Amino acid sequence: MPDEMDIDEAWERELAELGPVMLRQEHADAEEPDPVFVQSLRARLTGEPGASTAATELVDRAGRAGRARRPAGPRRRWLWGGGLAAAAVAAAAIAFVSTRPSTTPTQHAAFALPTPNATQLAQGYPVLGGLGSGGGTPSPWDHLMGIPSGGAYPGHLRLSASSFPSEPTSARAYRLAGSSFAAPRIASLAKDLAISGPVKRGRAPDGSSWTYVWDLSKSAAHPLNHSVAVSLQTGELVYHDLSASAVSRHLALNSPRNVAIAQAWLTRLGWPGAAMPVHVPTSAVERDLTDTVTLGWPGAGPVDAPAAMLYVDAAGTVEEAQVWPPVAQSGVVLTRPAAAAWRDLQSGRAPVAVIQREIGEPFNNGTGTLQTVSILEVFTETPTGKLYLAPAYRFQGSAIIKKLGRRRWFGLAPAGG
C-alpha cells in the first residue's frame, strides 16, 4: 500500500488538476436565466397580469434555508466586559439613507439570488449575553476570528411608522467566487506563508470538507501551530500562526498601520487586497476589537459582515485570518416596496434588534417608531455552500421599553423578495 506521503502528493496533484473543472462548474452553476426575461416570458405564456411586474417573484427562494454564519471558536481576545452606550434618539421624519452610487447600473443579475433567512438577517445583531474564551490546540479549520452571530430581541416591540420615503426600485447583488479561487492553490499558498508540510484533506466537526497544510509541533522548547486551510464547499480561507509572539499593542480596530499590513498580506495571496476597503462595523463586538483589521468587498457598499478579518501582532505579523472569496459576479435585482418589508418586521417574520446599555437587561416589551430606512448587503450562504451578498432593507428607529426607557432598535428584512 502507498504510504501517507504518496497519498498526500496524489491528492495535491488531483486538486491542482481539478481546479479548472471546479471553476467551469461554478461558471455553469451561475448561468441562471435573467429574472426580468423569466418574468416577461411567464407573462406571455400564462397571461398572468402581475407576472411581468411583480418584484417579489424575482428571486430564487431555493437558498432560503441557508446556513448561518458559524460562531466564533475559542479565543482569548473575545472578552466583552462593559456595557454599550445608547444615546436617546429624538423623533424625526422618516428618511431613506442612500449609501449607493449616484448612477444606477442597468445590467441585471445573471444569477439566481437566494433570499436571506431570519438567522442570516440576525447574524450581525447584538449578541444576547456575554462572550467567553477557551483554550486547546485549534485545528486548521477552527474559526478563531469570526464575529459571533447575534440574535433577535426576545421581547416584543409594537412598531409604527407615519409614512414611507421613496425608495430605490433596484439594488446591487453579488455572487462570490467559490472554492476554485483558492483550493487548487493550497500548496502555493502554504509556500507563500512559509508553512511546511504536505497538502491534506480533512473533515471538520460540522461535516464540511477542507484542504489544508498544517505544521504542528508540541515541543515545549519550540511549540508550533502554523496552518492554512480552504473550505472545499465555500472557498473560505482560515489561517493560524500560533507560534507568533502574540504580543499586542492594543491598537484600535483598523489602525492605518495594521490595515496596510493586512492589505499587503492579502494581495500576496491573490486577493485584491489594495482595493479592499475598511469594513464599517455593523456589530458592537466588531467595534470593540483591537489589533484587528476588518476589510470589505471592493465596490459592494455596506455589508453586514467583513470579507476578511486579520489579527496583526506588535511585530507586524499576521497571526490569524479568516478570509472569504472575492466577488465573481454582480448585477441588479429589483426591490420590493419598503412597506412590504416593513410588514414583515411588524409581524415578526423578520427579526428585530434592540441595543442594550448593559448585559443582563430584561427583555421587556415596548413600542418603537421608525426613523430611517437604508439598504444593507447581507452575507448569505446556501445549503450547498454558494455565497452571495443580498440586499436587505435596514429599518432603524427609537423605542420605549417597559422599565428600561428609551432604546435604539433596528431590523433587517429582505429587499429582493
- For residues 113 and 391, give the distance between their C-alpha atoms in angstroms, rounded to a whole number: 10
> Quick one: average pLDDT of 378-403?
96
Calculated CA dihedral for residues 93, 94, 100, 104, nearest 10 degrees: -100
pLDDT at position 37: 40
Greatest alpha-carbon pair distance for the chain in Å reads 77
- For residues 278 and 263, give the distance between their C-alpha atoms in angstroms, rounded to a whole number: 10
CA distance from start to end of the chain:
55
pLDDT at position 96: 63
Rg (CA), the chain: 23
> Quick one: average pLDDT of 379-404?
96
Q: Is the pLDDT of residue 15 over 60?
A: no
Q: Apex CA 403: angle with CA 397 and CA 404, to 5°?
A: 45
Residues 156 and 81: beta-carbon distance below 8 Å = no
**Dihedral sign, Cα of residue 93, residue 365, residue 359, residue 149:** negative
pLDDT tier at 149, thresholds 50, 70, 90: confident
Q: What is the pLDDT of residues 235-263, one digit of tens each?
A: 999 999 987 665 677 899 999 999 999 99
Q: What percent of the chain has pLDDT over 70?
A: 69
Compute φ and ψ for 319, nearest 5 degrees: -90, -35
CB atoms within 10 A of CB 57: 18
Domain boundaries, the chain: 4-331
What 8-state DSSP symbol labels residue 18? H
Q: Please state, rounded to an integer, the average pLDDT across all residues of the chain.
A: 79
Q: What is the pTM of this model?
A: 0.77
pLDDT at position 240: 96
> Quick one: average pLDDT of 229-237?
98
Q: Is the pLDDT of residue 104 over 90?
A: no
Closest Cα to residue 99, out of 370, 296, 242? 296
Q: What is the pLDDT of residues 308-339, one digit of tens each?
A: 999 999 989 999 999 999 999 999 999 999 99
Q: Is the pLDDT of residue 130 over 80?
A: no
pLDDT at position 118: 95
- For residues 89 and 95, give the distance between their C-alpha atoms in angstroms, rounded to a whole number: 14
Q: Is the pLDDT of residue 47 over 90?
A: no
> Quick one: average pLDDT of 29-38?
45
pLDDT tier at 218, thresholds 50, 70, 90: confident
pLDDT tier at 102, thresholds 50, 70, 90: very low
pLDDT tier at 306, thresholds 50, 70, 90: very high
Cell numbers 508540541: residue: 218
pLDDT at position 88: 30
